[in-house]
Structure 1
Amino acid sequence: MTSSPEAGADQQLPPIIQDPESTVLEDVVVDGRRLDQAIDDFVADIVAPPVNRGPARWHRRVCVGAINFRTEVAQAIVDQVSNVAAEAGLEVGEPGCRANVLIIGTEDGSSLAAGLVDRAPRAFRPLYSGAARSREALDRFVSTDAPVRWWHVSLPVGREDGRPAVRMPLDERYPVIRGEGRLRTATRNDLIKVFIIVDVSAARGVDVRRLGDYVGMVALAQIDPEADPSSYDTVLNLFDAPEVQRGLTAWDRSYLQAFYGAELNARAANQQGGEVSSSMYRDLRDAPPTDDAEDGSTADPTP
């Protein structure tokens, strides 16, 4: 884990606030749908990988870094995102590791995003197949007024050797992928970088630990920023329901554990989603009702 904060009162997040009492997720019906149907819809709608690619995920290890926050805020965010990653089964880098999950605080998210993309466009859309979403999606990343915006970069690799499974810039030949089958693929899609920009002015009033949970969720999966999660019990509603500040829920944890526990080697992307749905359904069906509210006891990040 690593953090590289910069001092400055204008980069503050506000005091921690307490969670009100939360609503427990029904174990049979969600928003008028059967649990299995709600899970299928969530898994199908919530992730947006590059075109013609299955969902990407981190392979074994992440290193979380935060910059342009005060020291204690940066560390709180890094720690919480790292906790989410560890809970999903990933290894977390030690302090000083090279960050592949980069979280940046700013008072103007759009200006920062535009500047980063202008200076290093290939960092966001590398010149190989399956690296990132479309140019139009990148434009939306720059222009959105969301409190948190994110951009994933991934790399298709061989499942056995981890070598690039697509032709890279300057390569003369396409790679040979051995072990491909009619129903199963010998490749996987690895996340290699995610840029996450937190507009601190828009995020004021949000508990830092809940913010870390939200950032952890969008860091570990290619969450579609235009998806509507309002009918699900998920931390992704954090900024749409500020009066009910929820951290990572049982629904979120079940999704991440299912996502990182599935093989994801089916050739058809919808079959990969089916693996995640089935695992998530078994977990939520058999789990006792829980209250995801916590005491919000994170230290006050203000001076």
Structure 2
Amino acid sequence: MLTTPDAVLAQQGGGAEESEPADEIVVQGRVPDREAGRDLAAEITRRVEYGTPLARFHLPVCPKVSGIHPTLGDALSARIRENASEMGLAVGGADCKSNIVVAFVVDAGREVYSLINDARWAFGTLEPSERERIAGETGFTRAWHVSVLGDENGAAIRDAKGPVVNNVSIATRLAAPVTRLVTASVVLMELAAIDGKTVEQIADFATMRALAPVTEINEATGEPESILALFSDPAPAEGLTIFDRSYLSAYYSLRLRNRPASSTLNAVGREYAEAVIDGGTETE
């Protein structure tokens, strides 16, 4: 059975030789970590058109949880809010309009097909090919994001009826003249899959899938460890890992909001390597 908040609370060598420079040790350990961090980031991040920035939340996040006991839903929502705040995102108040929906269902794949047939509005402006991609996913969860175009500073430039109007202040090939702004995200999770998982594990998994266009890890690969392997790793992380926090921290860096996706992936690798060097624990 799902571990309740109360149950979760109840759970809770020699140095280098003098002839070997300390900064040399850092360099030797840093490059593999940086590459491993970037490689995993590239593996889990959905591909976008070359040179296009990745979509990010620009409004205060407001999670809503459905399909589960309200007490547990409130605990999950509170944890998602806490995670978002720690990553520097604004969080909506008690009466905010939900823009993150985490729904617990019997069969995620069947639920997606039902929404495509009977409630296509749930996919917003997603193209048919995107809906088909979501429907074709495997695993115990599904997730998608609805986004609009924004200017280089992250202000929306398109609404439902009006044309695109964009005034670019500086032309550069290093950054796109637009941003992509998430207006809503949906995460579906199968009820049977969360059996035995803690509130922290479920909420942290949902946090990753709601805040960024990342996929579930269906085959655990070891290091770097990620909460996205929650349903495939025999001994999954207890919550957001060093990699996960590095990913979200880099992803929501303001300087990257209109940079190509590759810039974000590189930044994830750097942040992960620095976090490992700083001695952070794998799960915080």
Residue 265 (structure 2) pairs with residue 273 (structure 1): yes
Spell out, residue by residue over 1:98-155, the C-alpha distance to the aligned partner (whole angstroms, 9 max, x if none): 11000111222223222222233254151xxxxx4x6444234335452221111111
Q: Residue 186 of structure 1 contacts residue 265 of structure 1 at CA under 8 Å; is this kept in 2?
A: no
For residue 157 of structure 1, report the CA deviation from its aligned partner: 0.5
Correspondences of 1:122-271 after superposition (within 5 Å): 122-124=121-123, 126=125, 132=126, 135-160=128-153, 162-164=155-157, 170-171=161-162, 173-183=163-173, 184-225=175-216, 230-231=221-222, 232-264=224-256, 268-271=260-263
Question: Partners in 2 of 1:273 and 1:245 — Cα distance?
Answer: 22
For residue 266 of structure 1, report the CA deviation from its aligned partner: 5.8
**Relative to structure 1, is the Cα distance of residues 119 and 271 closer, same or farther in structure 2, using a 3 angstrom cutoff?**
same
- SS of the residue aligned with 2:65? strand
Correspondences of 1:279-290 after superposition (within 5 Å): 279-285=271-277, 287-290=278-281
Question: Partners in 2 of 1:244 and 1:267 — Cα distance?
Answer: 33
Q: Which of 230-239 and 69-78 deviates more?
A: 230-239
Spell out, residue by residue over 1:158-215, the C-alpha distance to the aligned partner (whole angstroms, 9 max, x if none): 13471326xx6654x5434322513233321111111111110222121122100110
For residue 245 of structure 1, report the CA deviation from its aligned partner: 4.5
For residue 289 of structure 1, report the CA deviation from its aligned partner: 4.5
**Relative to structure 1, is the Cα distance of residues 217 and 265 closer, same or farther in structure 2, using a 3 angstrom cutoff?**
closer
Q: Residue 65 of structure 1 contacts residue 103 of structure 1 at CA under 8 Å; is this kept in 2?
A: yes
- The residue type paired with residue 64 of structure 1 is P
Question: Partners in 2 of 1:145 and 1:268 — Cα distance?
Answer: 28
The percentage of aligned residue pairs carrying the same residue is 22
Residue 27 (structure 2) pairs with residue 36 (structure 1): no
For residue 62 of structure 1, report the CA deviation from its aligned partner: 0.4
For residue 95 of structure 1, report the CA deviation from its aligned partner: 2.0
- SS of the residue aligned with 1:188? strand
Q: Give the structure with the higher percent helix.
A: 2
Q: Count the aligned residue pairs.
A: 265
**Relative to structure 1, is the Cα distance of residues 17 and 148 closer, same or farther in structure 2, using a 3 angstrom cutoff?**
farther
For residue 220 of structure 1, report the CA deviation from its aligned partner: 1.1
Q: Residue 46 of structure 1 contacts residue 227 of structure 1 at CA under 8 Å; is this kept in 2?
A: no
Spell out, residue by residue over 1:191-247, the C-alpha distance to the aligned partner (whole angstroms, 9 max, x if none): 111111111022212112210011011111110347866242111111111434421
**Relative to structure 1, is the Cα distance of residues 267 and 103 closer, same or farther in structure 2, using a 3 angstrom cutoff?**
closer
Cα RMSD of the aligned pairs, angstroms, is: 3.2
Question: Partners in 2 of 1:159 and 1:227 — Cα distance?
Answer: 35
Q: Residue 215 of structure 2 contacts residue 228 of structure 2 at CA under 8 Å; is this kept in 1?
A: no
Name the structure 2 match of 1:6.
Answer: none
Question: Partners in 2 of 1:13 and 1:143 — Cα distance?
Answer: 28
**Relative to structure 1, is the Cα distance of residues 111 and 289 closer, same or farther in structure 2, using a 3 angstrom cutoff?**
closer
**Relative to structure 1, is the Cα distance of residues 45 and 210 closer, same or farther in structure 2, using a 3 angstrom cutoff?**
same
- SS of the residue aligned with 2:144? strand
- Structure 1 residue ranges without an equivalent (≥5): 1-11, 22-26, 127-131, 294-303
For residue 283 of structure 1, report the CA deviation from its aligned partner: 3.5
Q: Which of 179-188 and 212-221 deviates more?
A: 179-188
- The residue type paired with residue 39 of structure 2 is D
Q: Residue 242 of structure 2 contacts residue 280 of structure 2 at CA under 8 Å; is this kept in 1?
A: no
Q: Residue 84 of structure 1 contacts residue 217 of structure 1 at CA under 8 Å; is this kept in 2?
A: no
